[in-house]
Amino acid sequence: MRVESFKMERQGLVKEGQEVVISERSPSTGRYTYLVEPSVAMSGIYRTNERIMASKGVVREIRETEKGFYLIVEIEE
**pLDDT, averaged across the chain:** 92
pLDDT at position 28 over 90: no
Average of per-residue pLDDT across 18-32: 88
CB neighbours of 71 closer than 8 A, spacing ≥ 6?
5, 6, 7, 8, 14, 20, 36, 40, 41, 59, 61, 62
- Domains of the chain, by residue range, sit at 2-75
Q: What is the pLDDT of residue 29?
A: 76
